[in-house]
Structures are given as structure tokens and as C-alpha cells.
Amino acid sequence: MKLRRTVALIAALGMVFSLAACGSKEDTAAKAEPEVKEEVKEEAEVETEQAAEPADAGFTEFPIFEDEEVGFMNVSAVYFQPVPMSNGNENIEDFNIHLECDVSALENDLGYGLGDWIPYLTVDYDVVGSDGALAAKGTFMVMSASDGPHYGANVKLDKADTYSVTFTFHNPEENGYLIHLDSETGPGGTFDKYFADGNLSVTYDGWDYTPQEW
């Protein structure tokens, strides 16, 4: 009788442990999943060298879209938990996500190294629900995380839906960023080449989003 109970107990515990291992496998699968976002960052790090690997950065990013070419920029979007930020932006109570736009340079004649983060941009975001209603809108702030600088904002997005995300990029010259024009020191190009018809934008339809418990 006692033996049977012990055997049953061992069997039960064995089952639980195997399940815990199952959880670990899922985690391994998560890491093995090729998240293009991470690849983009690694590529960028060849140039910047200063930003930490996302794995070392200590947070898990959820991809929205990766590697969209917008003019001279490579654009990716991710989200993760809302984060407190300096300068009066510590409160994260009412936000669901931190939406991040990663912008790195493609081959260009504007003086950016391949994969460089592009500063001095104004990046607006629009998130539209499947019913066509605007769910979130604003202008990203510029900030640094442990994996480097980016454009981002804490966003309230508490409804699960298939969203359409649009990022609009303004000419860096609007924020006072200049380019050398002489042939000796200038990179050869100007922003007019890309922004002659106004702002650049990228829209990704089909972001299947559900709020997460962080």
C-alpha cells in the first residue's frame, strides 16, 4: 500500500518536472525563433559597436514588422513593456506597451554609415484598429535604452485587434540637422532627394496585437 503511494507520488512529481522542462523547451523555441529585429540590431552593431546585444540588454522585444525600406532608412518596429523614462515620464500605470521604431541607415550619400542609427528625425506614429478608428497617435520621443538610442513612446493600447501602424518621418533638417554641401567634405547627397515630395512614411497592415501581462 505504502509502496503504491510512493510510486504514485514519484510518478506525479515526474510529470510536473517534465512539464517544467516543457516550459523550458518553449523558451528555447522562443530564442531559436529568428527574430529579424535582433538580426537588424546585430547588423547595426557592426557600425555602432556601443549598443548591447538585445539578449544582454535584459528585455524581450516583440516584433511588429522588420526591415522595411523607407528612402535611405531601414525601419523596424517592436514593442515591449511600458518603461519609465527620465524627465517626468516615469509613470507607466496607464500604458500597455512601449512602442519602438528602429531606424538605421541603408547605403546612402548622406554621410551615414551603413546601419547607423539616424538622429534628428521627427517620427509620428498612427495606430488604426480594424474598424478604421484611430487607436493611438503621437510623436515618438528620442531616447536611449540598454540596446542603444531609438525613437519610442509608451502607448495605451488595451484592446486586442488587428492594427495598422504608420510611421511618418520628417526631414532631419526640420530639427536643424545639416549636411556639408562642398565637394571636399560633403557626402554628396542632400535630404531634398528623399523629402522633395514631403514626409516619408511606412504603413504596416496586419499587426495582430493582444495586450500582454508584463
Residues that bind another protein (CB under 8 A): 4-5, 8-9, 12, 15-16, 19-20, 22-24, 26-27, 29-31, 33, 35, 55, 58-60, 62-63, 80-81, 84-85, 87-95, 137-139, 141, 153-154, 156, 159-162, 208-214
Grid cell digits, residue 23: 516550459
Q: Which is nearer to another protein, 88 or 196 (CB)?
A: 88
Minimal distance, residue 188 CB to another protein, in Å? 32
Minimal distance, residue 184 CB to another protein, in Å? 36
Minimal distance, residue 85 CB to another protein, in Å? 8
Q: Which is nearer to another protein, 60 or 201 (CB)?
A: 60
Q: Which is nearer to another protein, 91 or 109 (CB)?
A: 91
Minimal distance, residue 87 CB to another protein, in Å? 5
Nearest Cα residue to 140 out of 159, 157, 153: 153
Considering all CA atoms of the chain, what is the largest pairwise distance in Å, rounded to the nearest integer?
Answer: 93
Length of the chain: 214
**Cα–Cα distance measured from residue 157 to residue 135, given in angstroms and rounded to the nearest whole number:** 7
Q: Which is nearer to another protein, 33 or 197 (CB)?
A: 33
- Report the sign of the C-alpha dihedral through residues 13, 16, 21, 22, in that order: positive
DSSP 145-183: ETTEEEEEEEE---S-EEEEEEEEE--GGGGT-----ST
